[in-house]
Amino acid sequence: MAVASPIIDVSFDTLTACSGCDLLHHHRELELGEYARCERCGDVIQTCKPNTIERSLAATLTALFLLLISLITPFLALSRAGITSSMSVFDAVEALWDTQMRWLGLLTLALIIVLPLARLLLLGWVLWRLHFGRKARRSMRIAFRWALKLEPWAMADIFVMGVVVSLVKISTLANLSVGIAFWALLALVGASILINASLCKDTVWTRLQQNQ
pLDDT 10s digits, 50-72: 889 999 999 999 999 999 998 88
Least confident of 35-49, 101-115, 145-159: 35-49
pLDDT 10s digits, 124-137: 999 999 999 887 78
Q: Is the pLDDT of residue 189 over 80?
A: yes
What is d(CA 164, CA 172) in angstroms, rounded to the nearest whole number?
14
Q: What burial class does residue 63 get, using C-beta atoms within 10 Å of its C-beta: 0-12 exposed, 13-18 middle, 19+ buried?
A: buried
CA dihedral sign of residues 115, 117, 123, 126: negative
Contact 130, 144 (CB under 8 A): no
pLDDT 10s digits, 78-87: 666 666 666 7
Alpha helices per DSSP H over 36-114:
52-72, 89-98, 102-108
What is d(CA 81, CA 83) in angstroms, rounded to the nearest whole number?
6
Per-residue pLDDT, 7: 46
Q: What percent of the chain has pLDDT over 90?
A: 23
Per-residue pLDDT, 174: 60
pLDDT 10s digits, 101-122: 778 778 878 888 888 899 999 9
Domain boundaries, the chain: 2-47, 52-210
Per-residue pLDDT, 119: 93
52-210: which CATH topology? Butyryl-CoA Dehydrogenase, subunit A; domain 3 (1.20.140)
pLDDT 10s digits, 202-212: 888 888 887 66
Cβ within 8 Å of residue 168, ≥6 positions away: none
